[in-house]
Structures are given as C-alpha cells and as structure tokens.
Structure 1
C-alpha cells in the first residue's frame, strides 16, 4: 500500500482508473513518464536570483517556456525507519538548459498529511493535503511549511509561505495524463506555474 492509498482510504477508488494505476506504485517498480509542458511560467523578474539559487538544490528554477519536454519518475522505497517514501524526480528540458525539481514524500498518519521534503538535498518542507475531486482527479494543496537549515527546521511565517495547488487527471479522449501546478505567495503573487500532459513509458 502506497502513502496515497493509505491517506485516501476508500476515496482512492474514486480516482480515475489510470490514476489508481499511476499511484499504486509497487515497491521498487518506478512509474516513469514522458510528456510536454504546454507552458511554464516563473514569477516576477526580481525573484530570479532566488529561483536561480534554488537550482543548486534541484528545487525551483527561473526559466519560462512553452512546449517544454519533461520526464517524471516516482519511486516507492522503504526507509531504514520503516516508513514508506516516494521519491519524485521531475526533469524539464529547456532549449539551453535542463532543470530538475525533486522531492521526498512520506506521510504523517496521525495528522493525515503528506510530509513533503522539497529539493535535493531538501531545502524546504511542506505539509500536503490530498483529496479526490468529483471528476476523479487527484488534488493536492499545501499547508504549514518550514525552511531546512541542516538538522534544524525553522517555521516559515504564513505570509511568506508558498501556496501550492496541484491537480492531476486523465483525459480519456486523448489518452494522456494531465497536470496543473500553481505556486504562489500571498505578497509577491506567482512564484512558478506549469501545465502539461504526459504518458507512461518504459525506463
């Protein structure tokens, strides 16, 4: 049972069948997909130094573009603690540079949230809530966040947090997975957003 199946319980079966396959994630058998981001939008120009710095941790990045090829790989693995972790690897192939956006996800069964450690090595932490929409899509939204300084975790004031919304679905007509991600801040507005589609593939 993956962290998403455990967290959603019976609601997991309300996901589109293709999303159920995608998020079943047998241990050690990665889900790998290839697709295109129809558009990737970064934030205000003055955010570029922060976004560029974030690339050192394979986190956010400053580039924008249209029809950007990308790959996604999700691997379910067992940690020494006994926890189940999903390792997320997202790679965006811009014309002049390749960017990565990686994360490590486990769950907190008591609080019923995904624990999302962003970047590699992890730079930020965020609680994530997951739900299934009436249309059978997976919807993810962020909660409280922390900045990671070595072994220290410093709470981020709510006004400075990134407000993240993600919706993933499946288009039966075109037979593709769809993805929309929006990362905003209550003060500066958009930090990053992307929208695209993908299909599972062999590694």
Structure 2
C-alpha cells in the first residue's frame, strides 16, 4: 500500500521528487505519519477588485482566501484518515494568521481510480471537487495542476464551466540551504486572468498519526461520496 500521491503519480515519477518531498507526500495510512508545516507566506494576493465578492463567498465555507497580506504566519496540517466511506483521505488544512483573526483554506484529498488522479474536495462541506494532476519537475520539485471542477449539493452534480472556474497551479520544492519547503500557488481564470494566490516557505515536522489521531475540527462537516 502506498500513499494516494504516489499511486496517482506512479513509482517512476514519484521517485524523481526530492527526498524531502517524497517523505511529505508519503503521508498516509501506510506510513502512519502526519505532517504539520509551519512558516510564513511572504505574500497573499488577489486579482482585480471584482473577484473579491466571489472570494468572500467562498471563504464562508473555508474555500479560497478573501484577504491579502504580507509576511503572514501560516500552518498546514496533512493528516491521513479513513473517511466515512472507507477511503484513505489526507487533509490539506491551511490556516493563515491574518490581522483581525485567522482564516482557513480547507481541502481533503482522495485518490480516484475512476478519474485516474487525486481528487481534491474543497471547503468544510466538500461541495467543490477538483481533479489534481501531479508531476515531478527538474530539480525534484512538484508541480500540481487542477483539471475539471464539479459542484455537488444534494442531487445536483454539475461541471463548473471554465468561464466561471479557475485553474490552479501549485509548485512545491525543498530548499536545502534553509531546510524549508517553498510553495507558490496561483489560480487563474481563462477570461478574467489571475484570481488569487500566495507564496512563502515552511518547515515540516512529523508525528505518529495513531498516537495523535485527527484533531477536532480538522475533518469536513460533510463528506461527499461522488468522485
């Protein structure tokens, strides 16, 4: 049994990642490890002013970020668990300590054999699901690109048109000089251009998930079975 990320990438591509990235993305039920990253986002940015109401709406369910900032303390919690449907799931819960109070950007990830990729459920209620495609880049960095997005609520299951959705690109690398991970996130709409993003660095620590468990408030309020 391997992590959901190694399964999605395949052994050869996963093996080209920097060893520290391989460990971070081996977090899972098989490894028995959780990972917590703590650092600073050098910059959190937005696109043009008209996107802010949409970001604010998403922020009510811990989807996206409705505020900007510089030198923002940051935590990311990657904790594996089996969800209500028995699927191995890994949390990607990001907390940004912004002025006026912390803001969260929540995601939970599973591997979808049907779609042949990692499926990223966004927010507290998993209403939005995005296909994620992972690849190893020169130098051992990791590139994650989003694909199709779908919105699920009750019987509703619709594909989000590209005109309304955003394409996410995440780059993560390990800086051996500082011993820190570097991350850059950029979300762009095909017509309206850049929507939001952030970049910064963090240090990671690992712990035995069987001893620590999944802390209260980390799992989503609602879990979506459809992949």
TM-score by length of 1: 0.93
How is 1:169-184 mapped onto 2 (pairs within 5 angstroms)?
169-184=173-188
Match of 1:20 in 2: 22
Match of 1:45 in 2: 49
Deviation at 1:200, TM superposition (A): 1.3
Does structure 1 retain, via aligned residues, the 8 Å contact 2:4–2:28?
A: no
Give me the whole-angstrom Cα distance separating, in 1, the residues matched to 2:74 and 2:20: 20
Does structure 2 retain, via aligned residues, the 8 Å contact 1:2–1:76?
A: no
Are positions 1:111 and 2:115 aligned together?
yes
Match of 1:83 in 2: 87
Per-residue CA deviation, residues 159-195 of structure 1 (Å, 9 max, x unaligned), is 2221110010101111110000000111221111100
Q: 1:189 to 1:170 in 2, by over 3 A?
A: same
Q: Secondary structure at the match of 1:52?
A: helix
Q: Which runs of 4+ in 1 moved over 4 A?
A: none
**Structure 2 alignment gaps of length 5 or more:** 208-227
Q: 176-185 vs 2-11, which deviates more?
A: 2-11
**Structure 1 alignment gaps of length 5 or more:** none
Alignment match of 1:144 (pick from 119, 131, 148)? 148
Are positions 1:92 and 2:96 aligned together?
yes
Give me the whole-angstrom Cα distance separating, in 2, the residues matched to 1:97 and 1:151: 35
Deviation at 1:110, TM superposition (A): 4.0
Q: Cα RMSD over matched residues?
A: 1.6
Deviation at 1:111, TM superposition (A): 3.2
Deviation at 1:146, TM superposition (A): 1.2
Give me the whole-angstrom Cα distance separating, in 1, the residues matched to 2:36 and 2:42: 19
How is 1:159-198 mapped onto 2 (pairs within 5 angstroms)?
159-198=163-202
Does structure 2 retain, via aligned residues, the 8 Å contact 1:57–1:123?
A: no
Give me the whole-angstrom Cα distance separating, in 2, the residues matched to 1:150 and 1:174: 47
Deviation at 1:123, TM superposition (A): 3.0
TM-score by length of 2: 0.84
Deviation at 1:114, TM superposition (A): 1.0
Per-residue CA deviation, residues 120-161 of structure 1 (Å, 9 max, x unaligned), is 112311111111112111110011111222342211112222
